[in-house]
Structures are given as C-alpha cells and as structure tokens.
Amino acid sequence: MLGDILGGRGAARDWVPITQIDRDMVRAAIAAEDSKFCSHHGFDYEAIENAMQRNASGGRIRGGSTISQQTAKNAFLWQNGGYVRKGLEAWFTFLIENLWGKRRIMEVYLNLDETGIGTYGVNAGAQRYFGHDASAMTATEAARLAAVFPLPKKRGAVAPQGFTRRYGNIIAGRIAVVGRNGLDSCIYKGAVAPVNKAPPTVTKKVRPLPGEEFESTKPLPPLDTTEADQSSAESEPSAAPAPGINSTEPTAPPEQNGASENSS
C-alpha cells in the first residue's frame, strides 16, 4: 500500500467486518488459497513440502503459504525479504493463530489483501470491478476476485482471459465443495453467518482507478498525431512515410499479461 501511495497511484480500502462479507467470498478465498484453513494451526506442512519439491524440479515457482501466513505478512511485514522475512512471518503467524483465532485472521486477510493496483481488500475490489460492495456477491464474482489474489497488479476480475479465466472457473466450482464439506465452519463458529442475497443492480459506471487497462478489453483510442505530423513536415518536408505505416490508424489493444503463480 505504501508503495502505491509513494508512486502516486493512491490506495483505496474499505474495511468491513467478516459478518458483512458475502459467505461465497470467504469460501472462494479458502478454495483458492488454503483449503485446510480451518484444520491447520497456521502452517500447512504438506503444502510447503509439495511447493519445495515442485520448485526444486524446475517447475513454476509457487509458495505453500497459508492464509494465516499471508495475513501475518500483510499486517506486520513487507513483501520481499527472503529468509529474514520468512522467519518473522512464522513468528507472527504463531502469534495471530493463538491470539486472534480463525475468524479474525480471515477478516484481516480479506480487508488487507491487494485486489488491484491501488486497491486493497475485497470490499474495495468488489466496488472497483463490479460496482457494488462485498456484502452480496455471486459465486462467479467471488471466484474471479479470488483468482486475482496471487498477482493483483497483473490480473483483472473484469472480462478475465487466459489463465485467470480458467482459474476463476475452477474456484467457482470449488466454492460449492467448501460449503458442502464445511471447510469454512471455523469462521462462523459461535456467530451468525451472513444470509445469502443477490447483488444489487449496478446502474452507474464504476469510477476509473489506476491500472484500469488490465481490466478492459476495449482498444485504446486512436493516437492523435496531428502535432507530430506538423512538426515532422516542417523539419523534413520531403520525407515520405515508410511503406505499410499509417499513423492515423488506432493503436492495438493492450496486450494481456501472462500469469504466474506466486503466493509466498
């Protein structure tokens, strides 16, 4: 967040309690990031071992961090730092598991996790991408937002393509499994879970935010080359345009970013 502010992009975040976040959003986070969230004590040793073996074999680099570890990092530490940060992350993970409990950990996670350039938390992410808050979301919306978590600066939940679209579809299918198997039960233990309700109808355009080009499939507007043509004509009156080049043609649509998983 500090990097976005110092970079002049600003930062948007709307804190909401876990009881006001759609349950499908909670289930989507568990389905995407940590299916054993309610059964482990902060660390998923099997996932860590699998990640180490996969990374050592030269496959796509992936982490084995749980939601608890990611929350500890987002709340108290920084994004990079190697083994030093990992050591501190383990200590803070132990503390929040024993002091906060699962419900508070999930609440902090969903309010601090980056969901876009200059956008933090699922409530701000839902307002950015879908034009409404996170209190009422469809399973598809929740899944698409969860698919953005690993690479929020390179993915968008609006009109996703490629890996992000496929991953979102997988998460949407897993949401029902999380609910059926009670994998989110620890979060609502002793509390009333939010009632499922339909998202509101969005009637006004979502306000533009930094990095919006990652969420749009529309081509950029035509390049205004009037001034450039005039200056070129004055400096080189006899120069002709190169064959096959037409400066009045619109620019190509922005290239979609590739995706790689790194949820360390």
Give all domains of the chain, ordered by start, each with its CATH number. 2-213 (1.10.3810.10)
As given in the structure block, the two tokens for residue 34 are 């940590």
Residue 3 pLDDT greater than 60, yes or no: no
Alpha helix positions (H), the chain? 2-6, 23-33, 45-56, 67-76, 82-99, 102-112, 122-130, 139-148, 162-180, 226-235
pLDDT digits (tens, 9 = 90+) for 32-70: 999 999 999 999 998 888 878 877 776 565 667 999 999
- Mean pLDDT, the chain, whole residue set: 78
Which of 1-5, 18-22, 117-121 has the highest mean predicted lDDT (pLDDT)?
A: 18-22
Find the mean pLDDT for residues 136-142.
94
User: For residue 64, what are the CA distances in angstroms to 50, 166, 168?
Assistant: 8, 21, 20
Residue 251 pLDDT greater than 50, yes or no: no
Higher pLDDT, 154 or 129: 129
As given in the structure block, the two tokens for residue 110 are 């969903």
Find the mean pLDDT for residues 105-125.
93
Residue 7 pLDDT greater than 90, yes or no: no
- Point out the least confidently predicted range of 53-57, 110-114, 121-125: 53-57
Which pLDDT band holds residue 116 (cuts at 50, 70, 90)? confident
Contact residues for 28 (Cβ-Cβ < 8 A; gap 6+): 139, 142, 143, 145, 146, 171, 172, 174, 175
Residue 256 pLDDT greater than 80, yes or no: no
pLDDT of the residue at 126: 92
Which residue is it, tokens 């299916």? 35
pLDDT of the residue at 8: 46
pLDDT digits (tens, 9 = 90+) for 178-226: 999 999 999 999 888 888 878 887 655 555 555 555 555 555 455 555 5
- pTM higher than 0.75 for the full model? no
Residue 233 pLDDT greater than 60, yes or no: no
- Could you tell me what percent of the chain has a pLDDT over 70? 67
Find the mean pLDDT for residues 167-173.
94
- Point out the least confidently predicted range of 153-157, 159-163, 253-257: 253-257
pLDDT of the residue at 212: 55
